[in-house]
A and B are shown apart, each in its own frame.
Chain A
């Protein structure tokens, strides 16, 4: 007796991050991957988990506990197992962020002249001019005012060194590996996500108790 289909286990894997439009109904298939017996799979996929309202602003955290509670309410005699992250961060996208071109160009020139001045100050600080003249005199035997044969390759090497470090030439990549800058952005994003999960989680618990 009792259908043995319903006693199987359902596996849930929450997605890490989901982007939605405002006022969207969030269904189970949006926030998690589901492995379930055929009979209940389609029902589960269209299970309503949350309705995005205006008071949520940009971020909603959906915890796996809420999801499991809703699944058990909907389908009796079922065991739910969760694999992977324990919550999903739902980001509500209002409109695409536009970067204004004039400000971007301004920032570009700021960085350009800023680093030019920095490197000139650095050279002056360490008195690189006299060292380079000395190297020129050591290798060849002439004394020159402007050892350009050393300095022009040096300047090109300066740029090459930075490019080598960042692993990027304009849009082309030198290697499959991610550049240090991308790793830093990723780490920062992870830290932000962790903070959001813990912070928003407390708020959502508070809302439940206010009912």
Chain B
């Protein structure tokens, strides 16, 4: 099961890395990005199995949290359902001029849902 999960994760990452290299115009460094993914996976395995404890200031969590969120956000945005279905749907309804407003609905919905979940939902 873990091998299967890793395989699926790898497939989805294939959508994120090309998009990031395209945005930052650093396509020659893609070799290093692959290594980053591999090392990250190994570190994750060690962290979850060995329960290490590092005594670092808790403000270090903020950049960690942001990068984790950005990664999951790009994953969610790159899903085929969003990129393929959405434009066709918008053109059918006739709102393809304002599709950006609908995209904002999804983005704000996810932010709101996530914050809501961590602040209140877990109390129940």
Instruction: Give A contacts to B, CB under 8 Å.
Output: 97, 99, 104, 107-109, 111-120, 123, 129, 131, 134-142, 146-168, 170-171, 175, 177, 180-182, 184-185, 188-189
Contact = CB atoms under 8 A, between A and B. Distances in A.
B84 A159 contact: no
A152 B83 CA distance: 27
Can you list the 6 inter-chain pairs with the closest CB atoms, starting with the nearest? A157-B69, A161-B73, A116-B113, A153-B65, A115-B109, A161-B70
Interface in B60-119: 60-78, 83-84, 86-88, 90-91, 93-96, 98-119
A129 B123 CA distance: 12
Contacts of A114: 109
Residues of B in contact with A, size category: 35 or more
Contacts of B118: 146, 148, 151-152, 155
Contact of B72 (A113, A129, A161): A161
B108 A158 contact: no
Contacts of B3: none
25 contacts: A99-B94, A108-B105, A112-B112, A113-B109, A114-B109, A115-B105, A119-B117, A120-B117, A131-B48, A134-B48, A138-B52, A141-B55, A149-B65, A150-B61, A155-B111, A156-B111, A157-B67, A158-B111, A159-B69, A159-B108, A162-B103, A165-B74, A166-B103, A180-B83, A188-B91
A149 B57 CA distance: 11
Contacts of B19: 165, 180
Contact of A155 (B69, B71, B93, B106): B69
